[in-house]
Amino acid sequence: MRIFCIANQKGGVGKTTTAVNLAAGLAQVGKRVLLVDLDPQGNATMGSGIDKRALPLSVYDVLLGTAGIAEARQASPKGGYQVLGANRELAGAEVELVDLDRREKRLKSALAEVRDEHDFVLIDCPPSLSLLTLNGLCAAHGVVVPMQCEYFALEGLSDLVNTIKQVHANLNPDLQIIGLLRVMFDPRITLQQQVSEQLKAHFGAKVFDTVIPRNVRLAEAPSYGQPGVTFDPASKGAVAFVEFAREMVKRLG
Ligand code: ADP
Ligand code: MG
């Protein structure tokens, strides 16, 4: 079982879209995937076709230790993967976790129990360095960083890189950056091409080959309760995410 966080401290950069569509893409190439929604907004849950307002059990119960993942996860109806869902209740976990034992390792321990049941676990992180994100980073082998090729992109990245270094040094020696994924890319915009080149110059092989284009079908899919990958498999965005799933599998051997 390989565990990855989809993380970036900025909001609206494409984390959830990446988590949901990578999950569907990996499922499509035959992998058994669990998507963990660690954001109280519950967008990954809804985007997987699961009503966040009607979750019998969620990642909140798992973090507090009142339920196991095996009983709390459910299948995404169209996605082909399992989901450990989240909703607003999760926002309270932040406070409740503080007094608990091994508070940043709760998700890691819970995942150990379903070790043999999934090939990949993808964790959709909230846009902050909270105790929730810390649980994701402590559980993971690696981080996938979606980013838009915009002017301030590199600047924001240094915060994330520092955070990952600190977690690596203090809490999780396994943790590494698997790669940077260029998302919402529009090749007609010169600035995006320039930032993309800067990224490659600076991070080299850590930049994934696959580029996710800006594609309206990816943005429409959540309102139909499914990943873009299954909603419109022929769309450019869907094709790119399946390609990215293949690249992940290849890169990880
Ligand atoms: P985050 O989880 O980082 O906040 P989201 O994945 O929710 O970001 O994406 C932010 C917005 O951008 C959403 O409305 C989403 O549908 C849209 N979006 C994300 N990726 C793409 C893309 N490749 N093409 C077009 N729209 C996208
Ligand atoms: Mg999100």
Ligand 1, atom 18, lies closest to the CA of 219
Share of the chain above pLDDT 90, in %: 88
Does 2-252 carry CATH code 3.40.50.300? yes
If you measure from the C-alpha of residue 180 to the centroid of ligand 2, how many angstroms do you get, rounded to a whole number?
17
User: Comparing 236 with 155, which gets the higher pLDDT?
Assistant: 236
Atom of ligand 1 nearest to the CA of 222: 16
Per-residue pLDDT at 253 exceeds 80: no
Residue 103, judged by CB atoms within 10 A of its CB (0-12, 13-18, 19+), counts as middle
If you measure from the C-alpha of residue 222 to the centroid of ligand 2, how many angstroms do you get, rounded to a whole number?
12
- Residue 168's pLDDT is 95
User: Average of pLDDT values for 36-63?
Assistant: 98
Q: With a 6 A CB cut-off, is 63 part of the ligand 1 pocket? A: no
Q: What ligand has the least distance to the C-alpha of 219?
A: 1
> Which of 38, 37, 34 has the alpha carbon at shortest distance from 3?
34
User: Average of pLDDT values for 105-128?
Assistant: 96
Q: What ligand has the least distance to the C-alpha of 42?
A: 2
- Residue 128's pLDDT is 84
User: Average of pLDDT values for 31-52?
Assistant: 98
- In three-state form (DSSP H/G/I as H, E/B as E, the rest C), the secondary structure along the chain is CEEEEECCCCCCCCHHHHHHHHHHHHHHCCCCEEEEECCCCCHHHHHCCCCHHHCCCCHHHHHHCCCCHHHHCEECCCCCCEEECCCCHHHHHHHHHCCCCCCCCHHHHHHHCCCCCCCEEEEECCCCCCHHHHHHHHHCCEEEEEECCCCCHHHHHHHHHHHHHHHHHHCCCCCEEEEEEEEEECCCCHHHHHHHHHHHHHHHHHEEEEEEECCHHHHHHHHHCCCHHHHCCCCHHHHHHHHHHHHHHHHCC
Q: With a 6 A CB cut-off, is 38 part of the ligand 1 pocket? A: no
Q: With a 6 A CB cut-off, is 252 part of the ligand 1 pocket? A: no
> Which of 4, 6, 2, 1 has the alpha carbon at shortest distance from 181?
6
Strands 2-6 and 142-147: parallel
- Residue 154's pLDDT is 79
Share of the chain above pLDDT 70, in %: 100
Per-residue pLDDT at 227 exceeds 80: yes
* Banded model confidence at residue 70, pLDDT cuts 50, 70, 90: very high
Q: With a 6 A CB cut-off, is 183 part of the ligand 1 pocket? A: yes
Ligand 1, atom 1, lies closest to the CA of 12
In Å, how far are 20, 220, 228 from 139, measured between CA atoms? 19, 31, 27
If you measure from the C-alpha of residue 114 to the centroid of ligand 2, how many angstroms do you get, rounded to a whole number?
24
Per-residue pLDDT at 87 exceeds 80: yes
If you measure from the C-alpha of residue 171 to the centroid of ligand 2, how many angstroms do you get, rounded to a whole number?
24
- Residue 121's pLDDT is 98
- Residue 153's pLDDT is 78
- In whole angstroms, give the CA distance from residue 229 to residue 236: 10
- Residue 40's pLDDT is 97
Per-residue pLDDT at 57 exceeds 80: yes
Looking at mean pLDDT, say which of 50-59, 94-103, 154-163, 191-200 comes out highest.
50-59
- In whole angstroms, give the CA distance from residue 223 to residue 10: 23
Q: With a 6 A CB cut-off, is 16 part of the ligand 1 pocket? A: yes
User: Average of pLDDT values for 56-65?
Assistant: 97
- Residue 74's pLDDT is 98
pLDDT tens digit string along 120-163? 999 999 998 889 999 999 999 999 999 999 987 778 788 889 99
Phi and psi angles of residue 235, each rounded to the nearest 5 degrees, phi first: -65, 155
Q: Is the pTM of this model over 0.95?
A: yes
If you measure from the C-alpha of residue 219 to the centroid of ligand 1, how many angstroms do you get, rounded to a whole number?
6
* Banded model confidence at residue 98, pLDDT cuts 50, 70, 90: confident
If you measure from the C-alpha of residue 124 to the centroid of ligand 2, how many angstroms do you get, rounded to a whole number?
7
pLDDT tens digit string along 187-215? 899 999 999 999 999 899 999 999 999 99
Pocket of ligand 1, candidates 8, 9, 15, 17: which has the most ligand atoms within 8 Å of its Cβ, to mutate? Answer: 17
If you measure from the C-alpha of residue 36 to the centroid of ligand 2, how many angstroms do you get, rounded to a whole number?
12
Spans of all domains in the chain? 2-252
